[in-house]
Structure 1
Amino acid sequence: MARRLRSVGLDFVDSAPLRLVFAAEVSAPPDLVYRALAEDVEGWPGWFTQVTAARPLDAGAGREVRLRGGIAFRETIVATDPGERYAYRVDESNAPGLRALLEEWSLTPSGTGTRVQWTFAADGSPLFRFTMRRARGAVGKSFRDAVRNLGRRLSAPSD
């Protein structure tokens, strides 16, 4: 059953008790990457393999996301800066021990492509924080794989 999480603002990205930050390069320009993140929510499972389902809610002001293993999130979008940043706060989740979560995707031009930085800012029980710190390598690999898949998706010829 989903639980209501603590509501946090964008400043949580810098103040969260647990912050995991990862970066990777993609050959697509920032505006295309941003559209894939913010406007093609239902397309996330096609490039982020940990995501099994995603759909926009409330005319795009929120999202519902399901992950492998049965974890579910109901989110509110908190920042939409086209070509630069996309961030959302998790309002409800069934993730054990999670108390607050905000994720920010920052996009920076890099040569002919984009540097994508993902910040996972969270608070949770001591066991949750310990587990997430131990899983840092796997979470980072998942992110890098997702960005690589997104790059392939964005560079594929349109039909």
Structure 2
Amino acid sequence: MARRLRPEGLDFVEAAPVRMVFAREVSAPPERVFRALADDVPGWAEWFAAVSAVRPLDGGAGREVRLRGGVRFRETVLAARRPELYAYRVDVTNVPGVRALVEEWRLTPAGTGTRVRWTFATDGTTAFRGAARLAGPGLGRSFRDAVTALDRRLSV
């Protein structure tokens, strides 16, 4: 069953009851990383192992995401400020207990490469918030593996 979530804005990234922040450096410059995030939306499935399919919606203003295991999201892009910020919120999902979810990708120069910082900000029922916190280490591993794969993809 699809659930409509609260339509949070970028400020939710700092105010969410559950916030997880992960960072990693890659060798590609910020503009190339930004293009992979914001312009090559279907390409996410090639470097982010948890993602089975992504397609842009509404001329790039939204996205439809499918994760392995059957999780689905319909998202609205909140910010696409080249080359430093890409953020989106989940509007509709089949995940039980979630009430709001915003993800932010910040890109900053790091030598000749990029420091990629991903913030996962969410709210939900008490059970969902507890499960989200317990999932933190797994989300961190998923992020590290994805960004490592993205770095390999961009270095070709």
* TM-score bracket relative to the smaller structure: over 0.9
State how many pairs are aligned.
156
Match of 1:107 in 2: 107
Residues 22-56 of structure 1: CA distance to partner in whole angstroms, max 9, x if unpaired?
00011000000000000000000100000000000
Provide the secondary structure at the position in 2 that maps to 1:6. coil
Match of 1:6 in 2: 6
State the percentage of identical aligned residues: 66
Match of 1:124 in 2: 124
User: How far apart in 1 are the matches of 2:89 and 2:45?
Assistant: 19
Please identify runs of 4+ aligned residues in structure 1 that moved more than 4 A.
none
1:134 Cα deviation after fit:
0.9
Amino acid in structure 1 at the alignment position of 2:54: A
1:68 Cα deviation after fit:
1.3
Structure 1: which 5+ runs fail to align? none
Give the alignment's TM-score, normalised by structure 2: 0.99
User: How far apart in 1 are the matches of 2:61 and 2:140?
Assistant: 27
Give the alignment's TM-score, normalised by structure 1: 0.97
Match of 2:71 in 1: 71
Structure 2: which 5+ runs fail to align? none
Residues 72-103 of structure 1: CA distance to partner in whole angstroms, max 9, x if unpaired?
00000000111100000100000111100000
User: How far apart in 2 are the matches of 1:20 and 1:89?
Assistant: 15
Provide the secondary structure at the position in 1 that maps to 2:69. helix
User: How far apart in 1 are the matches of 2:65 and 2:26?
Assistant: 23
Provide the secondary structure at the position in 2 that maps to 1:49. coil
Provide the secondary structure at the position in 2 that maps to 1:70. coil
Match of 2:58 in 1: 58
1:3 Cα deviation after fit:
1.0
Provide the secondary structure at the position in 2 that maps to 1:44. helix
User: How far apart in 2 are the matches of 1:85 and 1:139?
Assistant: 20
Give the CA RMSD over aligned residues.
Answer: 0.5
